[in-house]
Amino acid sequence: MPISINGKAYDVPADARVSLLDLLRDRLGLPGTKKGCNQGACGACTVLVDGSRILSCLALAVQYEGRTVTTVEGLATGDGLHPLQEAFVERDGFQCGYCTPGQILSAIGMAAEAVRGLPSAVTADVARRAIELTREEIAERMSGNLCRCGAHNGIVDAIADTFAGDRKGGSAR
């Protein structure tokens, strides 16, 4: 069964040792997903699988046969950026650019988790059906995506602009 990536069907590699990250970057020519640590510690390789965020460096491509993967290359429609991409530009939410695709995919998955009512370590009322994305919630939920420069506040601002309050929602588009 093929794997769907950004709306296109691909065969999974015969070699079961190939990570999803290496499939994307090295075999399919989709370098938007970044390899930072390659060991699950930085978040640069985050992609969406069926709308949920995962670390593609820790995932074997064969595990995702029949699943739907979205990378940063699949967010824009023609010349139209995803609203979160626009917010990153507006808020200066990037400096290195290397962590940015992972930040964006992770934030989209994170917003969907909040809509589903999944609590974080800072959620006061874990019984709530939908979690309000305060800055504290956003910072906590995005803590797996490292920014080591000065853009962190801009990243949180961009995510809050897009998903906080009544604008929250975690669709890929």
Rule CB under 6 A: choose which of 8, 11, 26, 41 binds ligand FES.
Answer: 41
Distance in angstroms (rounded) separating the CA atoms of residues 165 and 173: 18
Distance in angstroms (rounded) separating the CA atoms of residues 53 and 71: 10
Residue 129 CB, nearest approach to ligand FES (Å) = 30
Of 103, 88, 99, 94, nearest to 150 (Cα)? 94
**Contacts of ligand FES in 94-113 (CB under 6 A):** 94-96, 98-99
Q: Which is nearer to ligand FES, 28 or 131 (CB)?
A: 28
159 sits near ligand FES (criterion: CB under 6 A): no
**Contacts of ligand FES in 47-86 (CB under 6 A):** 55, 57
42 sits near ligand FES (criterion: CB under 6 A): yes
Residue 84 CB, nearest approach to ligand FES (Å) = 14
37 sits near ligand FES (criterion: CB under 6 A): yes
12 sits near ligand FES (criterion: CB under 6 A): no
For every residue of 98-146, DSSP letters joined together read SSHHHHHHHHHHHHHHHHTT---TT-S-TT-SS----HHHHHHHTTTS-
Give the residues lining the site for ligand FES (CB under 6 A). Answer: 35-38, 40-45, 55, 57, 94-96, 98-99, 147-149, 151
